[in-house]
Structure 1
């Protein structure tokens, strides 16, 4: 595993120039994750093509919607080592109503995988509170650079921004991989709810905003 010094990287807001790198990075980050293996039926031939297509369409959808995209970039060569997409309540959506996105997904990932993904996505969205909040929708550190502090650096940079919004109750994300729970809990996340996902559990995690002001009290 290549070693990298934190002084050699920077967390920056990304634009479309990093689209290809983000697609490759998230493919490597998610291809072995239980959630994606279930949603896209890893036992059926063509799984790699389905996950690449799903990530490509998700990134395109999030970019079209103007979500924040932050990345950990190597300063010397602009190589993307980690990426996170996050949005606020105003961008919360019912993905089943994104007709053009669904059509492209069906053509590339297949009907059953698209149905599973839409159901999963909407179940997560519906589990969240109606109060103003932020949501991390996609996040990954390239497997070659994990366990070197880059994920913590990326999330702490996001926290520094989201905590400035005193009207937001906090930040949510979800994972089907319970081996990440200790990492997230070390960054003040707590389990908000658990959702069934086939034979799996999807954990919806919540990090309260320490600067939130409840103006309804």
Structure 2
């Protein structure tokens, strides 16, 4: 019997379960290991990962982003953060000002070098995205012991369905540092738009161009 998963938008009250989930899901992620170190061996790296994921969750509610999760009953098994394409400049300006307060804890947990590299990474990847209105998949993760059950695929399909229904969006951009993910995304209609490097880490920039009717 196939398990049914419920995909729902997360609220601010879901922060703790989101941070716990994504900290686990990204523990072996190439970019996270490169930036923060190994959280399984180093408590400082573990604290940095938790702080960064917490920051990303807070940021989603201040900027024009949404967080969606896949639930089995009330247990969160997977989630993604997506940036929507039609935020106004005023929205971004107000959100950016409010975001400054959320950045402060990162300065105590991460070196200036790590924060600078994070900024460089975001600049590199965003410049690789096509210059047209689109959704941007910021991060997507599945609880390690729930992987292989179709949860990630159902979340990705949910995002594509949302994008296809949004007349202001022409597709979805994403970046991955895991070469194994490239073929997975290709099966969902993404193409490899560019391949670049961040430090010595390969970065694969992909785009899903939706059909315009």
TM over 0.5: yes
CA RMSD in angstroms comes to 2.5
Structure 2: runs of 5 or more not aligned:
none
Could you tell me which residue of structure 1 aligns to residue 128 of structure 2?
A: 127
Give how far 1:99 is off.
4.1
**Aligned equivalents of 1:192 and 1:104: distance in 2?**
35
5 Å-filtered alignment, 1:74-93, equals: 74-75=72-73, 78-91=74-87
Q: RCO (CA 8 Å, sep 6+): is it higher in 1 or 2?
A: 1
**Aligned equivalents of 1:103 and 1:68: distance in 2?**
22
The answer on 1:57 being equivalent to 2:55 is yes
The answer on 1:34 being equivalent to 2:30 is yes
Q: Deviations over 1:109-134 (max 9, x none)?
A: 22111111111012111222231100
**Aligned equivalents of 2:22 and 2:2: distance in 1?**
22
Call closer, same or farther: CA 1:5–1:25 in 2, change over 3 Å: farther
Could you tell me which residue of structure 1 aligns to residue 13 of structure 2?
A: 17
Could you tell me which residue of structure 2 aligns to residue 104 of structure 1?
A: 105
Could you tell me which residue of structure 2 aligns to residue 141 of structure 1?
A: 142
Q: TM-score, normalised by structure 2?
A: 0.87
Q: 2:195, 2:204 within 8 Å by CA — same for their partners in 1?
A: yes
Could you tell me which residue of structure 2 aligns to residue 183 of structure 1?
A: 184
Give how far 1:42 is off.
4.0
Q: 1:49, 1:109 within 8 Å by CA — same for their partners in 2?
A: no
Could you tell me which residue of structure 2 aligns to residue 171 of structure 1?
A: 172
Structure 1: runs of 5 or more not aligned:
none
Could you tell me which residue of structure 2 aligns to residue 6 of structure 1?
A: 3
**Aligned equivalents of 1:11 and 1:202: distance in 2?**
28
**Aligned equivalents of 1:81 and 1:5: distance in 2?**
16
Q: How many residues align?
A: 206
